[in-house]
Structure 1
């Protein structure tokens, strides 16, 4: 058997063998919550880089490839003895495959958790990118005080909101918070849509570019830097096994994933278009920062605050879901021979607290989410989303791959590797050029 991590470690303790099977709707909300995360914040910025049409096509293509990769993961996992992502990679590539998966999950999830806290800090206490200053909601309401500083507001959120949720030991326990989190994301998109339509009627919208603008500052290869952002926005593969193996049939998980992908793609397309219409090329890497501008009306001011707060609350509820798989992989990586994490309260609480403290300190130290998105999307996230699932299908240790599977897997791996290499090369080049 493969290592007992993911679904069987912190999520399904032995003392609950008769736990009720989860519903497809609950899985849809958990999957959608895992997908949306912080990715929605940088989707409008990708439209600024790519133009509307290429960005929309990229969102759809990545979504379709994600569906294929999840189907690969579920089908090839069920064909063997593994019950986890690291387990199926171990069956295909030995211990090195398991370790590579665990490291990528840890990097991706920890990076996402840090991004969530950065965005929450932006909303509550503002940010200062370059010479411009963007006030947070608390600063607009109450002025500048020690208790609404970035450090204190994030700390308060971590202790009061997130800590009780990350101490839950079963992913199904989060279905209600996941439902609320998806609802908040829909409310966020709805408010943005209303604001964009009002601005459109009043003739105040920006003119979006349908195609990318290539000039002396922007080359064709610069466009590839937006690809990792979209990849990261759709990466949830670290939660495929924890959520999927609570079902009796893999087909139920595939159905839930398809519904969630359609929902998330629609949300991404809507927020990308309406966000770009509202702010045009002045849009920030974190779109919530753009909503700090004062409005001419009281209604406009309320809408601005509602947009930011609804998504900050959404991220607070997403945080525990990603923490599950991160904590499970860290425990398996560091303590492979220890008893199940769910049965060891001291170890469970210690790892949880260490993760919260580290995420908090990193969120204070890192100011910009765009660079984190690009780094994750070009490295660990692209491995989890495309390279590893495609490689599992090509390896086919149980002999179930069809010719179509091999063609799709090869295409997926080649596209992922080529785009990631180009994106990393351009980012490194731009970094040295800016010095």
Structure 2
């Protein structure tokens, strides 16, 4: 629940007072954070693992089916290391900005605004644009996750119903799940959603256990085709799916903020690096075993490949379905919070209550419309990862560092400048190619 407490919290804009004996130069933002109940190293690690093990994990076999065992493994490791580095850059830049502004903490969008305002003169006028860009991509990301949850729930329920003779289309099941999810999204008190999170976490653990049972029960089939890439055009979708699975920018920043000793979060052997090493290991393991088991028939979620006529497989599908169904209102709450934070002052006090529910209704309905329009799980995850996370987790952190180092802190031969420029160009290219390729897959799926 730390993530949801984080997004619901308003941080003070006022500068923090210096501690006794502390000068302007050695101001430590970590010492000025006011977290009522900070998390320990082990607690933060558990939250980190929980936050990154979700629907994206179940898409790993499909991602490996596009790249093959060797290229999939290398690609997963390279993208994981690259994404980890970019988030490390974001956290370090936020620390530098907090130190300059003498504040204990600044949210992502405010950090972006401050960074651009301190950058090159020609960019300073666009500080508000980039700050709003952060909110835009985080909002689209959250709404996209909710849409993925709609599709995931519908596809898994359809397989179970088909086995028992109840043939229903995926789109119709998405329509059936909309009313209860809309009602859950109208809940204002996060404490009421806490039991749902507990059940969801237990369901994910049980589902993973049952899924791995099927993946390792037989000797894997090895042939040359499973070590080859399908085609160059699969790379952008692979990158998008991998980013979707790996990155949870809001969760990561929330955990760093709530940590008892934030200095232990970053660094080569910091908590974030260690957690990402574990997460990448789990992803690679599931991706390889799932691909060796089902080959090119891997679906957008490995649960869709499990036998339809076996009780254990049906339980696995329904446990993951229950987990994501119960996680939907929490993810939707984050999207609502972003919109409400930026719009509530525009409404008259007497109408804010009505406006609040209206925004909740709209934010809960948008993912439903997206899911009905394009119920293609793997292409949707690739599109979402390519469009949102390339900017939120790659381009923006590099841009912030480029501005913060302006004009004379780029190191020997301006290596930091060229490094950040390369990251930005790579992120924009990955976004354009990933969105294009994923959109083609969605269009092709619609024509079937």
- Between the aligned partners of 2:443 and 2:10, the Cα distance in structure 1 is 48
* 1:326-337 matched pairs, under 5 angstroms: 326-335=335-344
> Is the CA contact 2:62–2:378 (under 8 Å) kept in the aligned structure 1?
no
Quick one: structure 1 residues 257 and 213, their matched pair in 2 at CA, closer, same or farther if it must change by over 3 Å?
closer
Q: Could you say which residue in structure 1 is the equivalent of 2:153?
A: 120
Residue 211 of structure 1 pairs with residue 219 of structure 2: no
Q: Could you say which residue in structure 2 is the equivalent of 1:415?
A: 426
Deviates more, 1:92-101 or 1:29-38: 29-38
- Between the aligned partners of 1:45 and 1:28, the Cα distance in structure 2 is 27
> Is the CA contact 2:203–2:322 (under 8 Å) kept in the aligned structure 1?
yes
Q: Could you say which residue in structure 1 is the equivalent of 2:173?
A: 150
- Between the aligned partners of 1:69 and 1:257, the Cα distance in structure 2 is 12
> Is the CA contact 2:222–2:292 (under 8 Å) kept in the aligned structure 1?
yes
Residue number among 96, 112, 117 corresponding to 2:129 in the alignment: 96
Deviation at 1:331, TM superposition (A): 1.9
Deviation at 1:410, TM superposition (A): 3.9
Count of aligned pairs between the two proteins = 398
Deviation at 1:6, TM superposition (A): 8.7
- Between the aligned partners of 2:344 and 2:381, the Cα distance in structure 1 is 30
Quick one: structure 1 residues 163 and 98, their matched pair in 2 at CA, closer, same or farther if it must change by over 3 Å?
same
Deviation at 1:394, TM superposition (A): 1.3
Deviation at 1:318, TM superposition (A): 3.7
Which TM-score applies when normalising by structure 2? Answer: 0.74
Deviates more, 1:389-398 or 1:184-193: 184-193
Q: Could you say which residue in structure 2 is the equivalent of 1:46?
A: 63
Over the aligned positions, Cα root-mean-square deviation in angstroms equals 3.9
> Is the CA contact 2:94–2:106 (under 8 Å) kept in the aligned structure 1?
yes
Q: Could you say which residue in structure 2 is the equivalent of 1:83?
A: 106
Q: Could you say which residue in structure 1 is the equivalent of 2:208?
A: 189
Residue number among 219, 236, 241 corresponding to 1:224 in the alignment: 236
Quick one: structure 1 residues 432 and 6, their matched pair in 2 at CA, closer, same or farther if it must change by over 3 Å?
closer
- Between the aligned partners of 1:19 and 1:352, the Cα distance in structure 2 is 29
* 1:216-295 matched pairs, under 5 angstroms: 218=231, 220-247=232-259, 249-254=261-266, 255-294=270-309
Q: Could you say which residue in structure 2 is the equivalent of 1:10?
A: 8
- Between the aligned partners of 2:408 and 2:320, the Cα distance in structure 1 is 43
Larger Rg: 2
Q: Could you say which residue in structure 1 is the equivalent of 2:323?
A: 314
- Between the aligned partners of 1:79 and 1:6, the Cα distance in structure 2 is 25
Deviation at 1:329, TM superposition (A): 1.8
- Between the aligned partners of 2:341 and 2:36, the Cα distance in structure 1 is 24
Deviates more, 1:270-279 or 1:32-41: 32-41
Quick one: structure 1 residues 421 and 353, their matched pair in 2 at CA, closer, same or farther if it must change by over 3 Å?
closer
Deviation at 1:176, TM superposition (A): 7.5
- Between the aligned partners of 1:278 and 1:329, the Cα distance in structure 2 is 41
Deviates more, 1:83-92 or 1:150-159: 150-159
Quick one: structure 1 residues 24 and 115, their matched pair in 2 at CA, closer, same or farther if it must change by over 3 Å?
same
Structure 1: give runs of 5+ residues left out of the alignment.
127-135, 295-300
- Between the aligned partners of 1:85 and 1:145, the Cα distance in structure 2 is 43
- Between the aligned partners of 2:441 and 2:174, the Cα distance in structure 1 is 31
Deviates more, 1:352-361 or 1:280-289: 352-361
> Is the CA contact 1:52–1:210 (under 8 Å) kept in the aligned structure 2?
yes
> Is the CA contact 2:244–2:384 (under 8 Å) kept in the aligned structure 1?
yes
Deviates more, 1:236-245 or 1:61-70: 236-245
SS of the residue 1:285 aligns to: coil
Quick one: structure 1 residues 433 and 347, their matched pair in 2 at CA, closer, same or farther if it must change by over 3 Å?
closer
- Between the aligned partners of 1:116 and 1:336, the Cα distance in structure 2 is 31
- Between the aligned partners of 1:71 and 1:213, the Cα distance in structure 2 is 31
> Is the CA contact 1:106–1:329 (under 8 Å) kept in the aligned structure 2?
yes
> Is the CA contact 1:92–1:397 (under 8 Å) kept in the aligned structure 2?
no
> Is the CA contact 2:379–2:439 (under 8 Å) kept in the aligned structure 1?
no
Q: Could you say which residue in structure 1 is the equivalent of 2:401?
A: 393
Residue 357 of structure 1 pairs with residue 365 of structure 2: yes
Query: What is the CA deviation profile of residues 104-139 of structure 1, one whole-angstrom value per residue up to 9, with x for unaligned ones?
Result: 111111111100111011111x2xxxxxxxxx3245
Deviates more, 1:375-384 or 1:362-371: 362-371
- Between the aligned partners of 2:11 and 2:131, the Cα distance in structure 1 is 22
> Is the CA contact 2:376–2:442 (under 8 Å) kept in the aligned structure 1?
no
